[in-house]
Structure 1
């Protein structure tokens, strides 16, 4: 168990004299955050009916703390930072009396990226143990907290609230964050009740005395205290790691969003009003995210299905300096660039560009990047855009530059492929090992992402869709 007091787990409802903040159990308020995404995605168009519920929302002014030196906005995508606060104020005190007077932490940080045009959305999770460079922030009492070369990301919320988290994530991703939504866990049980329960799938019987979860293996629909116990459990399911738990909770949030976006909820005014009241009573946003702005976002995303709502953890792995912590991997910056450059309108073809469609282009993909699994991921992106793809495996040696080579009769096909690669490598004829009619893509370490003419972010390794079967991979 990590001894850092910022490394919080659930805090049992135990005697405050016996409960230790370093060994307790953290409650995940971020399941509530899923409803914030759902609110944006569909229900807000009924603004007039739910105006009273919007009156429950609290607001904070973060502009002064963020300052003028922020990333530029490159397109019409919307980025909303979703935060789960573990505050023990008010009714939340029952879930850890020993922490009642401590400053709140945020162990849940999800960047909700809404693609231009409203057709797709992605929730990007930032692990609480991620070690980052922390920029200078203003504390809650107005003090200036100096920048830190190395700090755990969930300390940003304790240092300076939502504004400090926004500033920290913007500094490491260079993605402009438009708004934030912050939720505590007090409304969680009400939300799961309001949607009529959330489906889950257990791979084995669970009887965990700490979380008080006691269920048989198989499918269940849970709500209230049982749902709360499910999101609390750690050692009773999986391998006990926080990474494993994040994946399970992403599936839960997807199932919650899928349920909330179903016709049975959206078309039932009484159930929807109950859901809105439950969600907004524990919701805080920036001042600019007014009900009117939320309504416009909702209208723009009215046609989005749950299959277009995806969840992924930011590319990360064990921190070389401390294996109990997490660090961004080399795949993180290319992924951030993909998010920054997300577009929906395809670029107009240049004069003289090849007219051969992707469906008539055969591509072999070789990995010369030094990143494990890169050829497979690039192949899946190409297949998603209609190319005929095979994975060639690892290249004989690594390369800093992505290359496109072609066999006899495939020069125009190579041009079609090059038009989809941001670095625009000059295609060359392959003299040895070529296959007639086939284009070879050698993915170098400079690989960013494939252009996506359909808009949105290409499929990511390990992503979870809200529409996925809850028993998938269980």
Structure 2
């Protein structure tokens, strides 16, 4: 069923929602956005089914055998999900030499892409490069041993390459990683150009000669060198912290995924192949990420859309010995890791309309419900996410907004003549008995989300919401 359009404008009220109307050049930045290439290869590949195309793409990927360097006693695989470790390398070899001379290579961007069983949703978990962690013993390609050590998480890549980062992430999270993808930035410009540019939004004009970047304020599409300059700039955006950079990185990745999964891209085989060809020339992977694995993955992702992809950052807290470093906030990070480990079931289908009256009221179908969704909590973006989920189930979403007053419990309110519509909403969001509201517009239903949340029936709640997360379908200029 096609999704209903959801307005993005936000409304405020003192005590209750208003009546709805008609529907209405620093190293730290060098690899920002590169991982969106890897993620988009995975998602866009679902639309390309011709075996010959896949064979040509497969031959462009540089692969490495790492199994014998991952060690013993790895975390068990508890589900049918797929976990891909994505790393951005700032290597200056080959085509990358034009961007300066630096010995060795580092991974300043590390994201664990978790794809739920059946390709129902995906979440990219960013690991801040300034995180102080315990790294296990690693082994280099030549067999040399790297002793276990405590230090910055990105030292794992510098010490032992992708295999050492893979081993470190598994040790820290107890999540079984299936594959890795490494991306450098030589092919970044051609990938962005294959997408015909990527939309960004900047809060102020940018004039950064070091990054050769000159941008106006606001929404705009960047291509080629301009896109490269945007992801390389360091000093002219934000507060300069790693966590602030990650937010912008996630917004950029979200924009790339949104563009790459656009219907116009997915229904045009020529554009799809051009994008994937540019991307596969730019990635390196483990040798078990074979052609058959990629085809199987593509088949499982046919229903994936930008709205089902989100990005979060591992919860962290200040590192006591150094204010410029952070450490995992285990009390918040462990529930996230556990949810990924145990994400082993598909969401149940939405509850069908009952064949008999419920409390004397027979619910109408979702497409007959005109609803406003309002956030009465301090968590940003909650109303929009819930509205999107309801729209996917067929509800007519006519308003999305916030209330200035905070409510402890979620409420379903309805106007004159909307009792059956409210009954349908109560089926979709169980546990909140609907009640009439004298100020409501006749025929309309209001979902006011309180502190206790609004879990839709049949929704898989295994991977929890994380403060500050970014959805790939959000407005690029949204600040929350």
What TM bracket, shorter-length normalisation? 0.7 to 0.9
1:460 aligns with 2:429: no
Counterpart residue number, 1:39 = 41
> What does the per-residue CA deviation read over 1:234-263, in whole Å, with 9 as the maximum and x for residues that have no partner?
221112222112101211111011101112
Ranges in structure 1 where 5+ consecutive residues have no aligned partner: 1-9, 11-23, 348-355, 357-374, 393-415, 418-440, 443-449
Q: How far apart in 1 are the matches of 2:192 and 2:346?
A: 37
Q: How does 1:271-282 map to 2 (within 5 A)?
A: 271-282=271-282
> What does the per-residue CA deviation read over 1:252-302, in whole Å, with 9 as the maximum and x for residues that have no partner?
111011101112222223222221121111211111111210111111011
Contact kept? 1:376, 1:391, Cα under 8 Å: no
Call closer, same or farther: CA 1:47–1:133 in 2, change over 3 Å.
farther
Q: How does 1:200-279 map to 2 (within 5 A)?
A: 200-279=200-279
RMSD of Structure 2 on Structure 1 (CA):
3.0
Q: How many residue pairs were aligned?
A: 370
Contact kept? 2:120, 2:346, Cα under 8 Å: no
Q: Tell me by how many angstroms 1:51 deviates.
A: 2.1
Q: How does 1:150-161 map to 2 (within 5 A)?
A: 150-161=150-161
Q: How does 1:49-68 map to 2 (within 5 A)?
A: 49-68=53-72
Call closer, same or farther: CA 1:453–1:343 in 2, change over 3 Å.
farther
Q: Tell me by how many angstroms 1:344 deviates.
A: 2.9
Contact kept? 1:116, 1:343, Cα under 8 Å: yes
Q: Tell me by how many angstroms 1:209 deviates.
A: 1.8
SS at match of 2:118: coil
Q: How far apart in 2 are the matches of 1:88 and 1:47?
A: 35
Match of 2:475 among 459, 469, 472: 469
Per the normalisation by structure 1, the TM-score is 0.72
Counterpart residue number, 2:447 = none
Contact kept? 2:318, 2:326, Cα under 8 Å: yes
Q: How far apart in 2 are the matches of 1:227 and 1:119?
A: 31
Counterpart residue number, 1:76 = 80
Counterpart residue number, 1:432 = none
SS at match of 1:185: coil
Q: How does 1:59-458 map to 2 (within 5 A)?
A: 59-97=63-101, 99=102, 102-148=103-149, 150-329=150-329, 330-345=331-346, 390-391=407-408, 453-455=458-460, 457-458=463-464
SS at match of 1:258: helix
Higher mean C-alpha displacement, 46-55 vs 304-313: 46-55
Contact kept? 2:44, 2:272, Cα under 8 Å: no
Ranges in structure 2 where 5+ consecutive residues have no aligned partner: 1-24, 349-357, 359-376, 391-405, 410-429, 432-450
Counterpart residue number, 2:10 = none
Per the normalisation by structure 2, the TM-score is 0.71
Counterpart residue number, 1:420 = none
Contact kept? 1:132, 1:152, Cα under 8 Å: yes
Q: Tell me by how many angstroms 1:343 deviates.
A: 3.1
